[in-house]
Amino acid sequence: KDGSTGMEKVVLREPGGATAQVHLYGGHVTSWKNEKGEELLFLSSKAIFKPPKAIRGGIPICFPQFGTFGSLEQHGFARNRFWVIDPNPPPPPPALTGGNNGNGTSSNNNSSSKQQPFVDLILKHGEDEHKIWPHSFELCLRVVLGLGGDLTLITRVRNTDSKNFTFTFALHTYLSVSDVSEVRIEGLETLDYLDNLKDRERFTEQGNAITFDAEVDRIYVGTPTKIAIIDHEKKRTFVLKKEGLPDAVVWNPWEKKARAMVDFGDEEYKHMLCVEAAAVEKPITLKPGEEWRGRQELSAVPSSYFSGQ
């Protein structure tokens, strides 16, 4: 923690050298570095770490509304509120015992169990939120840095009210890429998407893998649980695995929109791509006492790890 408002953060380190950083402002993951110290998330050089704006980059949390799918401010309010460290967190993630760490790289075969670094944050409704969205809720975020450097976000929403409520949700993940025009996404081909640039009209993806040469703002609906983002220049593949979040948003503002954003450098669009695990097309309804859980796991592996790349 560094103590100052908006800048207060938690740093996770795993023994191999990977790190992650979570700001309490927004419950926002702002950095994820591999064991070589390479940053894997995009964070704008112009990011502002205080209300009313969300931090530009990292992983903002869109709740209780994704985008403009409702009457609230764009992407809801969770991303521009101060979260707290959960005083009563659920049990820690299971300790790992040696062997394969799940991302294809080998870890040492030490049979003693090791704890993965993690933190639990919570956002409760306050009077302010209640005025905007009149429901009692608890929103929790667990960030786990796996041994081997995978980054897992587990989110839980609990209805602490006496009536049902409905929300949409996204983990608005800004990936750092060398040059977006050299990137392709696999796992979304032939799916339907809602095009935010065309009044959310529904289209079916025709191409093979998805590549980028202009502004993109799409919600792919009902996607597979695994999506690969392949950065040819860096020879790096991000693998995004998700549960409870059936949709995937893909966004790059491209040149013109980049210039219009005050908290985003004019050329920065070349070095980022948002791929967001989301629940948008079918909003989630919780009865009193019910809880919903969503999970997104990111790993970054050398592209050569996959055959044919």
Catalytic residue ranges: 172, 276
Number of residues that bind ligand BG6 (CB under 6 A): 10
Pairing of strands 137-145, 236-243: unpaired
Residues numbered 123-182 forming contacts with ligand BG6, rule: CB under 6 A: 172
**Distance (Å, whole) CA 16 – CA 238:** 19
Residues numbered 40-59 forming contacts with ligand BG6, rule: CB under 6 A: 54
Options 67-75, 150-158, 177-185, 203-211: segment touching ligand BG6 (CB under 6 A): 67-75
**Distance (Å, whole) CA 40 – CA 272:** 10
Structure tokens at 189: 């081909």
Structure tokens at 123: 């956002």
Structure tokens at 230: 């392949």
The alpha helices in the chain, defined as continuous H runs, are 127-132, 254-260
- Which residue's CB is nearer to ligand BG6, number 231 or number 276? 276
Q: Where do we find the tokens 């800004």?
A: 174
Q: Is 251 in the site for ligand BG6 (CB under 6 A)?
A: yes
- Which residue's CB is nearer to ligand BG6, number 56 or number 135? 56
| Position among 34, 101, 103, 196 found at the interface with ligand BG6 (CB under 6 A) | 196
Residues numbered 74-113 forming contacts with ligand BG6, rule: CB under 6 A: 74-75
**Distance (Å, whole) CA 148 – CA 99:** 11
Instruction: Provide the minimum distance between the beta carbon of 110 and ligand BG6 in the complex, in angstroms, as a whole number.
Output: 41
Structure tokens at 109: 């075969």
Q: Is 217 in the site for ligand BG6 (CB under 6 A)?
A: yes
Q: Which residues bind ligand BG6 (CB under 6 A)?
A: 54, 67, 74-75, 172, 196, 217, 249, 251, 276
